[in-house]
Structure formats: C-alpha cells, structure tokens
Amino acid sequence: MPLPGPATKARACTTRVGETVLVTTVRSALVALLAFALVLLGGASLAQAGSAEVERAQKRLNVLGCAAGPADGVLGERTRAALVRFQAANRLAQSGRLTSTTRTRLTGDRARRCDVRRMPANSGQGRRIVLSQRQNYVWLVRKGGSVLAQGPMIDNPSYLGTGSYHTGPQCGRAGRIPRNSDYGSSLWLYKFVRFANCGVGFHRVPVYKSTGAQIHGDHLLGTNYRESHGCIRLSQRLSERVWTFTAARTKVVVVHG
C-alpha cells in the first residue's frame, strides 16, 4: 500500500496531468516492492540465524535431560517448556525464552540437569514425598534420605499451601483410588493418592474417558503452562511410583523453593 504522502499527491495530480500520475504511481510501487524484498531477505537471514541458535539450545537441553524434543530449530511449545524446566532447575526466571542469562548458563559448565535435582534444604527428614512449588517438581525420598524417584509435576498453589501433610483418607473419602473420576465425570484420574484438603491428591495427567488420551502432553509437566484444579499431575511412570511408595501412610512436605 502507498504511503499517505505520495498517495495524496498522486490523487491531486489526476485532475491535471495523467502522465504524472502514472510515473508517480509506478515509482512508488517500485520503491515499495524493493523495500518489501529487502525486508524479506533480512527477515530470512534473521530467521536462519535464530533457528541455528535454537537448534543448538535444543541439543544442549536434551543432553541435560530437559526433553526439548527434536532439534529442529523451532522455538515451539515443547522447547519453551524445556527452557522453563531448565530455568527452574537452575534458579533462573522461568520465562520460557532463550534470554542471554539462560543462554550463558545453558552453555556453561555450571548448568544443572532438569531430570536430576537436589532437594530443597528445608524439606524435612525421613521417608517422605517432597513437592517444590517453585520448581514444579517432586522427590520420593527413602528413610535414609536417598532419592528413590523424582520428576516434574503440575499443581495449583492456590489450592495447596506449604507445610506437612500425610497420605490417606480425608473427609470420609478413600485415600487410594486406582481409577478415580473428576467432578464432571468426563476424565479418569489414574493412581489417585489423596493427601490434603479433602480432594487434593497425586494422580496421572487426566485422561479423557471418551478417547483415552491425556488432556495434555507430559512435555508440559514441570511448567506453569497448565494449572490443575488442586491436585498434583504426574507422568504415568511417576504416578505409578508414587502409588507403590504410598502403600503405607506417607508424609508429604510441600515447600516453595
């Protein structure tokens, strides 16, 4: 589209000299076309450079157990989620963007893995499950303090405060339900283990009863891109570990850090 200035001038010429209109219009079109071509070329160069950088980041994230998916140079949802997990594990702002700070940590020697993390210092003693709301992460801890299993989660801090809880029946409801149903009766909550506030528990990412598909992929675990209705969503594998670990009454410690 011609700029307002030249377009107005061209319209003013139409009442006097037709040739002037044609020359002015053609000249404006050529200038606009050239500018557009330069923008396209410049944009392509920037996109290529950006894709190469993203591809390198994806490869590094995968090496660090952050599950970025295929190294295709596309900064999509899976890669952004992997960046959030990396930022959480390395105590960086969880933006999901490849910031200069994130890039420096990612390529440096001090980069921490996403899938093997140290427990928060204020997480108690003895056999327990530890939840970090800041990291969106869970640890299953043996009596002696060693970690049996760990992995990312999705929660909703507005439903669950920090503190200590225990698995088991709550408000007259069963503590363990192999296949629980949501309130709307459209989802299955497999391996449901109750531990707080009557209805809060661990379970696998909900599955549609109609299709058997999860409501979202495991790649979103460990991020705030989704939010539960209060419960702790886990991968199928980790939910099974929690189910086995909590066969007896188990302490659950929820911390912020």
Secondary structure, 3-state, 36-59:
HHHHHHHHHHHHHHHHHHHHHHHH
Query: Is residue 13 predicted with pLDDT exceeding 80?
Result: no
Q: Domain check: are 133 and 250 in the same one?
A: yes
Q: Is the pLDDT of residue 75 over 50?
A: yes
Same domain for 164 and 96? no
186 and 157 housed in the same domain: yes
pLDDT single digits (tens) 213-249: 999 999 999 999 999 989 999 999 999 999 999 999 9
Co-location of 199 and 238 in the same domain:
yes
Alpha-carbon span 233 to 204, nearest angstrom: 5
Examine residue 82 and state whether it is found in any structural domain, yes or no.
yes
Q: What letters, b where the CB count within 10 A reaches 16 and e where it falls short, cover 92-104?
A: bebebebeeebee
Give the range of the structural domain holding residue 33, as residue numbers without chain letter. 4-107
Domain annotation covers residue 170: yes
Q: Are 234 and 218 in contact (CB under 8 A)?
A: no
Q: How many domains does the chain have?
A: 2
Structural domain includes residue 197: yes
Q: Based on the fold, state whether residues 147 and 242 are members of the same structural domain.
A: yes
Could you tell me if 244 and 145 lie in one domain? yes
Domain-embedded: residue 94: yes
Are 79 and 152 in a shared domain?
no
* Residue 138 and residue 226 in one domain: yes
What is the domain-level CATH number for residue 230?
Answer: 2.40.440.10
Q: Note whether 205 and 236 are same-domain residues.
A: yes
Q: What is the pLDDT of residue 254?
A: 97
- Inside any domain, residue 178: yes
113 in a domain, yes or no? no
Tens-place pLDDT, residues 128-142: 999 999 999 999 999
Query: What does the alpha-carbon distance between residue 206 and residue 218 come to, in Å, rounded to a whole number?
Result: 11
Same domain, 245 and 157: yes
Residue 231: inside a domain, yes or no? yes
Same domain, yes or no, for 67 and 171? Answer: no
**Where is the domain boundary, 78, 107, 136?**
107
- Please tell me the least confidently modeled range out of 40-49, 53-62, 217-226: 40-49
Asked if residue 88 belongs to a domain, the reply is: yes
Mean pLDDT, the chain, integer? 85
Question: Does residue 169 contact residue 246 with C-beta atoms inside 8 Å?
Answer: no
Do 135 and 234 reside in the same domain of the chain? yes
